[in-house]
Structure 1
């Protein structure tokens, strides 16, 4: 019950013994760097589980699909534009990048690139849903490790941290609000292509991710923080 309460009330990323003192740290402690890489690997593995589940794509992929639908850009280029736009949103939030910001893209992409060949592609719908839930939990745990490392967040997590700082709202509620907003905007961009919207892009997995990733990230941060020696 205490863990449940802390998960839904945590507002800041805790500092532990292996956390970097500053996010812009080019020479972190070896343990800090190891936990950063481990967290990003778990994040990528969780994303791969969502991809191979076949139950619907994540919110930002919905948005990328929507932008592609309106502009004829490729999904990859649309995703790149979204990431750049989110990074520009960091400026008024005074969010600082770090080596984790750069490694975020490379490690997650490489993990997805290789792991999708070895993960299950369930055909039974209940197994697809279970795989989505497991993937969301893995992403949350990975987020806990890499964010507590304090070596720089990825574009989306940096937006979450920046908005939390200026609103003082719990982490889970900030992340959930962002994800739901992204799904809504992406879906609106796909309204003129309703078959694609309902048949290929948005599924139960999309809804589970939008509603579940906030609590999952907050749970991951809480667990990693509690299992590590606090500063």
Structure 2
């Protein structure tokens, strides 16, 4: 399975290729991604590195979680300019749909207090996050702001994707933790499993390009 997943082509494909199906896949994946974030927030036992930052900023600015994710997305997009990255439909949709969906689910899902329910939420959230990532990335309509920052730095510096991603996520995790963001068991679980989960689903969710 690993060898198959590494051969998946995720380069952007023109919108004119199967537009309806790919747009539906994009929006579904982004909505599920926002849902997965809400599940992890309500578990209250640690978040993904970026969401630790979002959580810390939420406490300092008293904005909704979704509004903070949109704000950081816009700030990250500003860093695309010197990296000469080009946004696509998927990039813009990423900012809007995730922000709306995470706030919507947080509005109806209460926090978990019992450990079995917390573990259920965090495990479900991490697995759903990996599936959702594969779905929206597999639509091949442009990277999200944070993915584009990673690939842009990789292209400009020549550093490995693994090194760039690790550096970014450690940086935002540290800043988020200092701001009071929630880091813990969920953070560790996310870090060690999200890559493998996403890779597992990509071969089934990635749409083919023009042949």
Q: TM-score, normalised by structure 1?
A: 0.70
Q: Distance in 2 between matches of 1:164 and 1:37?
A: 27
Further displaced range: 173-182 or 81-90:
173-182
Q: Distance in 2 between matches of 1:74 and 1:84?
A: 18
Q: Distance in 1 between matches of 2:4 and 2:46?
A: 30
Q: Distance in 2 between matches of 1:128 and 1:45?
A: 15
Distance 1:30 1:168, change over 3 A: farther
CA contact under 8 A between 1:53 and 1:128: conserved in structure 2?
Answer: yes
Instruction: Report the counterpart of residue 14 of structure 1 in structure 2.
Output: 9
Instruction: Report the counterpart of residue 213 of structure 1 in structure 2.
Output: 194
Deviation at 1:138, TM superposition (A): 1.0
CA deviations on 1:68-112 (whole Å, 9 max, x unpaired) are: 78xx54455765553233112223433221222222122222322
User: For structure 1, which runs of at least 5 residues remain unmatched after alignment?
Assistant: 191-196
CA contact under 8 A between 2:46 and 2:52: conserved in structure 1?
Answer: no
Distance 1:54 1:224, change over 3 A: same
Deviation at 1:120, TM superposition (A): 6.6
Deviation at 1:163, TM superposition (A): 3.9
Q: Distance in 2 between matches of 1:164 and 1:222?
A: 23
* Match for residue 105 of structure 1 among 92, 95, 99: 95
CA deviations on 1:196-224 (whole Å, 9 max, x unpaired) are: x4xx7222223323443333333333442
Give the count of matched residue pairs. Answer: 207
Superposed, which structure 2 residues align to 1:73-112 within 5 Å?
73-75=61-63, 79=69, 81-112=71-102
Q: Distance in 2 between matches of 1:33 and 1:222?
A: 18
3-state SS, counterpart of residue 43 of structure 1:
helix
Does residue 113 of structure 2 align to residue 123 of structure 1?
A: yes
Distance 1:208 1:82, change over 3 A: same
Deviation at 1:13, TM superposition (A): 5.8
Q: Distance in 2 between matches of 1:93 and 1:219?
A: 30
Deviation at 1:158, TM superposition (A): 1.8
Q: TM-score, normalised by structure 2?
A: 0.75
Distance 1:145 1:211, change over 3 A: same
Instruction: Report the counterpart of residue 149 of structure 1 in structure 2.
Output: 139
CA deviations on 1:125-169 (whole Å, 9 max, x unpaired) are: 243133212211211111112112122222112223334555474
CA RMSD in angstroms comes to: 3.4
Distance 1:186 1:48, change over 3 A: closer
Instruction: Report the counterpart of residue 182 of structure 2 in structure 1.
Output: 201
Q: Distance in 2 between matches of 1:156 and 1:205?
A: 20
Distance 1:175 1:133, change over 3 A: farther
User: For structure 2, which runs of at least 5 residues remain unmatched after alignment?
Assistant: none
